[in-house]
Structure 1
Amino acid sequence: MTHHVASGFSRTIAVVALLLIPSLAAAQALPNISSLNVRYNTRKATVKPDGELKVQIDAVDKEIAAANRLGKIGEVRRQIAKGMSLLDGIPWTPALDFQNSLALRSDRIVVDSSAPYALRLEQIYSPAIELTPALTAKVVLRKRNLVPSPGAAATTVPAAPRELGVFDGLSRDLRESPLAMELDVSGAEDGPYTVEVGVMDGTTAIATTTLGIVLHKGLDARLRALETAAATVIAGVRADVAYPADYIRNVNRGRIGLQTFNVGTEVAAAEAVLAAAKGGKDPFKGRTGDFERHYLLEGPNEVMPYRVYVPKAYSPTAGAPLVIALHGLGGNEDSFFDQYSKLPPQLAEKHGFLLAAPNGFRVDGFYGATIMGAGDAAARRRVEYSEKDVLQVLRLMKATYNVDESRIYLIGHSMGAIGTWALGAKYAETWAALVPFSGVSSPALAERIKGIPQFVVHGDNDATVNVSGSRNMVAALKKAGANVTYLEIVGGSHTDVVVPNLPKAFEFLAAQRKAAVATQQR
């Protein structure tokens, strides 16, 4: 089969064309807009609508594009919900339109249960529905599980909702007049909950919306104590102590999502670091194995986490290879450690590699890649700081450990693969090898990275990032004379191609070394 580079790249971009729709003022109650777009595009690629359904979906896509041009993100969410409903064979009704318009918002998602909890019921767009004036809102609190780590055993929490109140006089236009509520959550045990608000017409529930929160009694005092104490430890450990307070503050401000952040575990970990750092000690000095570190990223002035694996055989007197691992959209610094059957740290131990996984600033940062265009100011900021986060983690690893600068490798999956090719091209003198799984890039970059050995993996049944993304890039690399190994997995999906091929990828990395070390980015 012959693949045409330019047109193939355009086709691949069409599959991920909505990845970088700007997420203006991302609401705490709502999923990340980039993740929504990926789900929607993946669903379209899976269903392959035709006939009348294709006509309907094409109309939805036009509405999404128009709303995006105008910065109407609420309308983008509405149209994605409509498109997903149609793709699932569910007619889009006024009731569904109303349901998807609702949102719960609060100034706090991580909550000290000692104080009353303020919450608002709002709408992100005006739905096309006729409502009676006799609406009420019934609020209940349900215990739930934290998002489990991949591979962790599922636990069952019995549903025992606690009623928090019924509120009369609900406006039919919640954009103009949101419903403000003050809820008594005292007495609830620490942990994750769902606040559920049902909109009632008399005794009939016509819509329900939810907000995930975490309750923790006495949390505010513990966070204040950590922030105060951070100034008393050595400079290199301050961010590790301050991290929970900084992260929770940014969650509550709506800058980031809670994701897999476990409030109790993270606060306790910071308190343990603080205790171990007393007297000017560095609790991380000489440590091996898997652990998390933190630093203050200048610009946004946020504490960034990054995950580290130091092999048992590491010695500060001998240079060690370093792998920088970039997660996919919606992931974080934990992805390459807790997902993919937890193989990356095992393989790092086997080969004697240092392994570091940055957060990438945001779940949709894209590590400096701009293949979709510059986007709005918020998107440009995410992309810029995502790149800076990766580079800063690289600098910190080189400053902390004896890194063999002729053996620094970059790997990534999905969005991380996009970042691998982007940063590989921008800082070509840094990397001894690149490993992108299920990625896409501009073939025009091939000339810049033709001197870097590459191990590329993609499934031919990938409904998220079309396989043409890797096919066309590999063709351009081979034309440029690059040393590239390409594995195209028959029947492989977007994610199931990673685990079986990680051992081969690490074997490939182990064989790669730069002939001469150029001046490194510092």
Structure 2
Amino acid sequence: MIPNLRILVAVALLAATTAPRAGAQAPVGILSLNVRHSTLKNTTRPTGDLKAVVDSIDVQIGAAAKLGRTSEIRRLYAHAATVLARRPWTPEAEFASSLVSRTDRQVADPARPWSMRVEQIYAPSIQLDRPLVARATLRQRAAGGLPNTPMTVVKQLGTFDGVPRDLRDTPFMLEADLHDVADGSYVVSVELLDNARTLGTTSLGIVVRTGLDASIARLEAAAAKAPEPVRSDLIFPVDRLRNVNLNRIALGTFNPARDFAAAESLLVAVNARKDPWSGRTGDLKQHYLLEAAGEVMPYRVYVPKGYMPSKPLPLIIALHGLGATEDSFFDQYGKRLPALAEERGYIVAAPLGYRVDGGYGVSLGGPSGDPAAARARTLSEQDVMQVLQSVRLRYKVDDRRIYLMGHSMGAIGTWAIAAKTPDQWTALGLFSGFGVASTARTIGGIPQFVVHGDADPTVPVGGSRLMVAALKGVGAVVQYVEVPGGDHSNVVEPHFAAMFDFFDKHAQRPVVKP
């Protein structure tokens, strides 16, 4: 029986390599919540009364999705996650999941007063008979500490009476003086109490950076005079910070200390009238203006240390999974991909794909007819193709050897983009993904390396089996590796070297028949 496309796509990857984020201001996307929910169900396999409860919640999620009621969808997913973890869904738990913290400046210059607000995304059913109390604390995790490492209290920001019971109508506003706080990453936690009863705590990650406003002014002035693509490299942290503050992008997808420092370093070269990228190889973060979005987009690129502009090198475009960023293939998977790129003499470039859940042009679920989601899908696909163009402009690329690969959502995007641009790619690498069998004839002339674990709880292995069968049915060259007991992510890194072997064997772009 052929698996239903919508069902399979609905369980596309929430990448296990997603960097942990503490209190990111931008909410987790509905698609990511969908994936977490599906994976949790596939892992716990509820039965009996628990299954009946989860099935009922699923029906309610479907009804809310049809009406586009995302706040209600978030409440229902929180309910499902709680009961699947075999914890009681209490009025306090419902209240806690309704809380969210927001600020106009998630990266703060301590020279200016800073403020935040605590709101609710839906009205919980809890009965509250009196105004609440808020207790605010600034904490910091030790450098290099794991996500669950206890955080150190840096500063008590105060205890406040008379907090409104309905935080949708009247958010709680908190002002804080950060002039005595050292530069670094922090978490502001606000605990809400009804007398001695704790109702819930909401946390917001912030970054304190001295001289931020002056740095922004310098970069904006220099970018206004610089030519592309250096203009985009200079202005990126300013543009990204604006989108973080507008609640469009999570702070965890942006490293203010690293990215502002990198832009300031480029500015030194620009002021000295030098090409800031001349002669630089290794692991680099570069940028370009995605005009259709009006945003500067980042991409990560690895250039082998022996690169010479006179000698073209093969190029791999690498697409990350849902929830990850352009950094995942460089910082995760044992950092094996850039190491192999150096060893084998490949340039590797990883786009963001516009957003962490952009989908590379593929609809992966969520409310149908959502124009914002449709726009994000279009821009995600455009980002991939424009990164390809940007790398080809900056470096000497062997046009006969351009490869596309991806993990999970990235593998789904790889099959989808290849079907739209089959003449661009020499071979494909796909890990834990799913394709549309009807595109097999279009992409059947492209050699493909496919890996999937048969115990994958997030994207069922049947998706790859179906696609591989369709490809072989049209005579495609396919090397399929199905890993017994393999899960969604542990099959990736161990097969990178075999993927490079496959790419080395296919070193001439195939002629794609119309």
> TM-score of the superposition, structure 1-length normalised?
0.92
Whether 2:114 is the aligned partner of 1:111: answer no
SS at match of 2:89: coil
Give the count of matched residue pairs. 505
Distance of 2:351 and 2:275 partners within structure 1:
21
Assess, with a 3 A threshold, how the Cα gap between structure 1 residues 425 and 475 changes in structure 2: closer, same or farther.
Answer: same
Where do 1:467-478 residues align within 5 Å? 467-478=461-472
Distance of 1:178 and 1:309 partners within structure 2:
46
* Aligned partner of 2:121 among 124, 145, 148: 124
Are 1:233 and 1:278, in contact at CA under 8 Å, matched by a contact in 2? no
Where do 1:476-491 residues align within 5 Å? 476-491=470-485
Are 2:25 and 2:250, in contact at CA under 8 Å, matched by a contact in 1? yes
Distance of 1:277 and 1:420 partners within structure 2:
37
* Aligned partner of 1:140 among 124, 137, 162: 137
* Aligned partner of 2:321 among 328, 332, 341: 328
Whether 2:231 is the aligned partner of 1:226: answer no
- One-letter amino acid of the structure 1 residue matched with residue 432 of structure 2: S
Q: Which moved more, 1:119-128 or 1:254-263?
A: 254-263
Whether 2:87 is the aligned partner of 1:94: answer no
- One-letter amino acid of the structure 2 residue matched with residue 207 of structure 1: G
Distance of 1:518 and 1:88 partners within structure 2:
50
Deviations 1:483-503 (A, max 9, x none): 101000001010000111000
Assess, with a 3 A threshold, how the Cα gap between structure 1 residues 200 and 153 changes in structure 2: closer, same or farther.
Answer: closer
- One-letter amino acid of the structure 1 residue matched with residue 192 of structure 2: V
Where do 1:394-405 residues align within 5 Å? 394-405=388-399
Whether 2:233 is the aligned partner of 1:240: answer yes
Assess, with a 3 A threshold, how the Cα gap between structure 1 residues 209 and 48 changes in structure 2: closer, same or farther.
Answer: same
Deviation, 1:233, is 3.3
Deviations 1:307-332 (A, max 9, x none): 11111332322321110001111111
Assess, with a 3 A threshold, how the Cα gap between structure 1 residues 64 and 391 changes in structure 2: closer, same or farther.
Answer: same
Assess, with a 3 A threshold, how the Cα gap between structure 1 residues 357 and 10 changes in structure 2: closer, same or farther.
Answer: closer
Whether 2:491 is the aligned partner of 1:500: answer no
Deviations 1:279-330 (A, max 9, x none): 4321212322111111111022111111111113323223211100011111
Tell me which residue corresponds to 1:22. none
- One-letter amino acid of the structure 2 residue matched with residue 248 of structure 1: L
Assess, with a 3 A threshold, how the Cα gap between structure 1 residues 153 and 74 changes in structure 2: closer, same or farther.
Answer: closer
Deviation, 1:44, is 0.5
Distance of 2:266 and 2:413 partners within structure 1:
32
Deviations 1:213-245 (A, max 9, x none): 111122112112111112333432111111111
Are 2:3 and 2:463, in contact at CA under 8 Å, matched by a contact in 1? no
Q: CA RMSD in A?
A: 2.4
Deviations 1:406-459 (A, max 9, x none): 110001001110111011111000000011100012111111100000000000
- One-letter amino acid of the structure 2 residue matched with residue 424 of structure 1: A
Tell me which residue corresponds to 2:358. 365
Distance of 2:147 and 2:64 partners within structure 1:
39
Q: List gaps (5 residues or longer) in structure 2.
A: 16-22
* Aligned partner of 2:57 among 39, 57, 60: 60
Deviation, 1:30, is 3.3
Tell me which residue corresponds to 2:381. 387
Deviations 1:195-218 (A, max 9, x none): 111112224322211111111122
Assess, with a 3 A threshold, how the Cα gap between structure 1 residues 323 and 184 changes in structure 2: closer, same or farther.
Answer: same
Distance of 1:363 and 1:324 partners within structure 2:
16
SS at match of 1:231: helix
Tell me which residue corresponds to 2:188. 195
SS at match of 2:162: coil
* Aligned partner of 1:12 among 8, 12, 25: 8
Where do 1:16-27 residues align within 5 Å? 16=12
Tell me which residue corresponds to 2:18. none
Q: Which moved more, 1:10-19 or 1:490-499?
A: 10-19
SS at match of 1:451: coil
Deviation, 1:370, is 3.0
Assess, with a 3 A threshold, how the Cα gap between structure 1 residues 145 and 38 changes in structure 2: closer, same or farther.
Answer: farther
Distance of 2:148 and 2:81 partners within structure 1:
29
Deviation, 1:102, is 1.2
Distance of 2:26 and 2:448 partners within structure 1:
41
Tell me which residue corresponds to 1:443. 437
Whether 2:317 is the aligned partner of 1:344: answer no
Are 1:145 and 1:192, in contact at CA under 8 Å, matched by a contact in 2? no
Deviations 1:305-364 (A, max 9, x none): 111111133232232111000111111111111111111111111221111111111000
Tell me which residue corresponds to 2:43. 46
Deviation, 1:505, is 0.5
Distance of 1:389 and 1:102 partners within structure 2:
33
- One-letter amino acid of the structure 1 residue matched with residue 387 of structure 2: V
Distance of 2:25 and 2:379 partners within structure 1:
21
Tell me which residue corresponds to 2:270. 277
Deviation, 1:14, is 5.3
* Aligned partner of 1:315 among 308, 327, 331: 308
- One-letter amino acid of the structure 2 residue matched with residue 183 of structure 1: A
Distance of 2:40 and 2:102 partners within structure 1:
28
Tell me which residue corresponds to 1:464. 458
Whether 2:170 is the aligned partner of 1:173: answer no
Assess, with a 3 A threshold, how the Cα gap between structure 1 residues 251 and 17 changes in structure 2: closer, same or farther.
Answer: closer
Task: Using the aligned pairs only, state the percent identity.
Answer: 49
Tell me which residue corresponds to 1:23. none
Whether 2:159 is the aligned partner of 1:162: answer no
Distance of 2:383 and 2:340 partners within structure 1:
24
Distance of 1:254 and 1:463 partners within structure 2:
31
SS at match of 1:502: helix
* Aligned partner of 2:27 among 27, 30, 54: 30
Distance of 2:198 and 2:270 partners within structure 1:
54
Distance of 1:516 and 1:16 partners within structure 2:
30
Assess, with a 3 A threshold, how the Cα gap between structure 1 residues 227 and 155 changes in structure 2: closer, same or farther.
Answer: farther
> TM-score of the superposition, structure 2-length normalised?
0.93
* Aligned partner of 2:402 among 408, 412, 415: 408
Distance of 1:153 and 1:452 partners within structure 2:
42
Where do 1:503-522 residues align within 5 Å? 503-514=497-508
Deviation, 1:166, is 2.1
Assess, with a 3 A threshold, how the Cα gap between structure 1 residues 128 and 261 changes in structure 2: closer, same or farther.
Answer: same
Distance of 2:195 and 2:317 partners within structure 1:
57
- One-letter amino acid of the structure 1 residue matched with residue 462 of structure 2: S
Distance of 2:151 and 2:61 partners within structure 1:
40
